[in-house]
């Protein structure tokens, strides 16, 4: 955290307590995400990946939605291309987050390379929408470090723990994944356009299921949505990049800050 | 399965780095923004549907659908992320136990 602290000028007591509140929130989000990491580790191993591959995903890919999508497609018997394609397409939202974060973080060189890995739903929600730059930077780095550490810890424990389970379906883990996707989706469903896109995606995916290999229906749904988005004019309002995932693992306060 | 793991990790990292690196006007193009906003919605919706009501190449309704229904209620009640996921898993597990 010295990264963020080094840039701060002398602080008033108000700023100090604001900083403490940000760090406290960041740790809380990390703990919640760590618990979620447990379920990722378990589900990934149950989907047929090794413990090493599961941990590599959390370390190197480090984006919950994409990770769940990858193991979900592989677990359903989809090809590697379909699995990686779905994960990468789902990761496109992180590029949008980066645009919002760049003027707040103002990072270059090696520090930008490190910051990039931490650009996810939670860090964006904690960084954007704050009044001043230092608070936004602190929100980003504190949340990034906290979530990275605990997400990876949770993943290891979940992966190792799942080895002892004979059938993860007994715990309802197969229903946990779509529920996690639902929680990521819910904050995006404001206005009419998202519903049109969602219904189109549902129809395309269901029609494709009987005729295409596993994983392909999801990619076809994404393609249809992209074409739909290109052909129809946008809403007047730009997409709210910060209101990305179910923000900050569900703290309503963060939701309002970014919404 | 190392190839998709590494490929997805590299792809996702480059996207993150691109957002921080490219001139904003490039990615801020209206068409790019529209597609980028639409993709997560389509992908998440399709993943939810596929992973909840299909088995192999068939449409099936089982305990997962009950789990998702519980998750929908939890989301409507603005429950925190982990509660949404936990309620779905618990509901599906109970449904299997009772079936």
Check A225 against B15: CB less than 8 A apart: no
Measure the CA–CA gap between A104 and A137, rounded to whole angstroms. 6
Check B42 against A226: CB less than 8 A apart: yes
Helix (H, G, I), strand (E, B) or coil at A127: helix
Looking at residue A10, its pLDDT comes to 66
Check B41 against A89: CB less than 8 A apart: no
Measure the CA–CA gap between B9 and B61, rounded to whole angstroms. 33
Measure the CA–CA gap between A77 and A79, rounded to whole angstroms. 7
Looking at residue B60, its pLDDT comes to 92
Question: Tens digits of per-residue pLDDT, B13-51?
Answer: 999 999 999 887 776 788 888 888 898 899 999 999 998
Which of A7-21, A101-115, B71-85 has the weakest average pLDDT?
A7-21
> Which tokens in the block code for residue A5?
């602290």
Task: Say if residues A99 and B27 touch (Cβ distance below 8 Å).
Answer: yes
> Which tokens in the block code for residue A223?
């393609």
Looking at residue A2, its pLDDT comes to 47
Q: Quick one: average pLDDT of A136-156?
A: 96
Q: What percent of chain B is predicted at pLDDT more than 90?
A: 62
Give the H or E element holding residue A70.
helix A64-75
Task: Say if residues A120 and A148 touch (Cβ distance below 8 Å).
Answer: no
Looking at residue A28, its pLDDT comes to 87
Check B11 against A74: CB less than 8 A apart: no
Q: Quick one: average pLDDT of B48-64?
A: 91
Measure the CA–CA gap between A249 and A170, rounded to whole angstroms. 25
Query: Cα distance from A156 to chain B (closest Cα, Å)?
Result: 16
Looking at residue A258, its pLDDT comes to 33
Q: What percent of chain A is predicted at pLDDT more than 70?
A: 82
Check A89 against B87: CB less than 8 A apart: no
Question: Tens digits of per-residue pLDDT, A100-142?
Answer: 899 899 999 999 999 999 999 889 988 987 767 899 999 999 9
Query: Sign of torsion, CA A88 A93 A97 A98?
Result: positive
E strands within chain A?
none
Looking at residue A35, its pLDDT comes to 83
Beta bridge partners of B55: B58
Closest CA to A251 of A19, A38, A33, A95: A33
Check A170 against B96: CB less than 8 A apart: yes
**Contacts of residue B84 in chain A, CB cutoff 8 Å?**
179-180, 182-183, 246, 250
**Residue A236, pLDDT above cutoff 60:** no
**Residue A249, pLDDT above cutoff 80:** no
Query: Which of 5-34 (B) contact A at CB < 8 A?
Result: 5-9, 11-13, 15-21, 24, 27-28, 30-31, 33-34
Q: Quick one: average pLDDT of A211-218?
A: 89
Query: Cα distance from B84 to chain A (closest Cα, Å)?
Result: 7
**How many interface pairs between A and B have CB atoms less than 8 angstroms apart?**
324
Q: Quick one: average pLDDT of A70-75?
A: 92
Measure the CA–CA gap between B78 and B61, rounded to whole angstroms. 26
Looking at residue B80, its pLDDT comes to 85
Measure the CA–CA gap between A2 and A20, rounded to whole angstroms. 15
ipTM, 2 dp: 0.90
**Contacts of residue A87 in chain B, CB cutoff 8 Å?**
4, 8, 11-12
Higher local confidence (pLDDT), A125 or A204: A204
Which of A11-25, A63-77, A87-101 has the weakest average pLDDT?
A11-25
**Residue A9, pLDDT above cutoff 70:** no
Check A96 against B71: CB less than 8 A apart: no
Q: For chain A, say whether B77 makes contact (Cβ under 8 Å).
A: no
Measure the CA–CA gap between B3 and A225, rounded to whole angstroms. 27
> Which tokens in the block code for residue A60?
């190197």
Query: Cα distance from B29 to chain A (closest Cα, Å)?
Result: 11
Residue B63 has what DSSP assignment? H
Closest CA to A204 of B41, B81, B9, B8: B41
Residue A136 has a CB neighbour count (10 Å cut-off) of: 22
Q: Please name the residue that has the structure tokens 């898993």.
A: B89
Beta bridge partners of B59: B54
């Amino acid at each position: 955290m010295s990264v963020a602290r080094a840039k701060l000028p002398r602080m008033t007591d108000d700023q100090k307590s604001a900083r403490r509140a940000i760090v406290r929130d960041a740790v809380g989000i990390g703990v919640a995400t760590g618990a979620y990491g447990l379920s990722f580790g378990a589900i990934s191993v149950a989907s047929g990946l090794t413990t090493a591959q599961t941990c590599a995903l959390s370390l190197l890919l480090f984006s919950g939605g994409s990770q769940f999508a990858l193991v979900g497609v592989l677990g359903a018997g989809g090809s590697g291309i379909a699995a990686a394609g779905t994960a990468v397409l789902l990761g496109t939202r992180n590029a949008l987050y980066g645009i919002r974060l760049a003027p707040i973080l103002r990072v270059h060189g090696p520090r930008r390379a490190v910051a990039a890995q931490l650009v996810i739903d939670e860090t964006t929600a904690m960084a954007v929408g704050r009044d001043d730059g230092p608070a936004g930077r602190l929100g980003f780095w504190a949340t990034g470090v906290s979530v990275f550490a605990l997400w990876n810890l949770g993943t290891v424990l979940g992966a190792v723990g799942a080895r002892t389970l004979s059938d993860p379906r007994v715990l309802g883990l197969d229903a946990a994944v779509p529920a996690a996707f639902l929680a990521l989706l819910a904050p995006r469903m404001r206005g009419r356009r998202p519903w049109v896109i969602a219904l189109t995606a549902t129809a395309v995916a269901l029609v494709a299921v009987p005729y295409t290999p596993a994983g392909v229906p999801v990619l076809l749904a994404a393609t249809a949505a992209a074409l739909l988005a290109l052909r129809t004019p946008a809403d007047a309002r730009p997409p709210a990049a910060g209101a990305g995932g179910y923000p900050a693992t569900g703290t309503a306060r963060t939701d309002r800050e970014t919404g | 399965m190392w190839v998709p793991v590494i490929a997805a990790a590299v792809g996702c990292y480059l996207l993150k780095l691109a957002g921080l690196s490219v001139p904003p006007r490039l990615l801020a193009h209206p068409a790019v923004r529209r597609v980028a906003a639409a993709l997560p919605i389509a992908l998440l919706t399709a993943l939810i549907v596929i992973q909840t009501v299909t088995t192999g190449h068939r449409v099936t309704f089982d305990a997962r659908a009950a789990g998702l229904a519980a998750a929908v209620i939890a989301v409507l009640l603005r429950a925190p992320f982990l509660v949404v996921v936990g309620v779905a898993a618990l509901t599906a597990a109970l449904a299997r136990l009772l079936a």
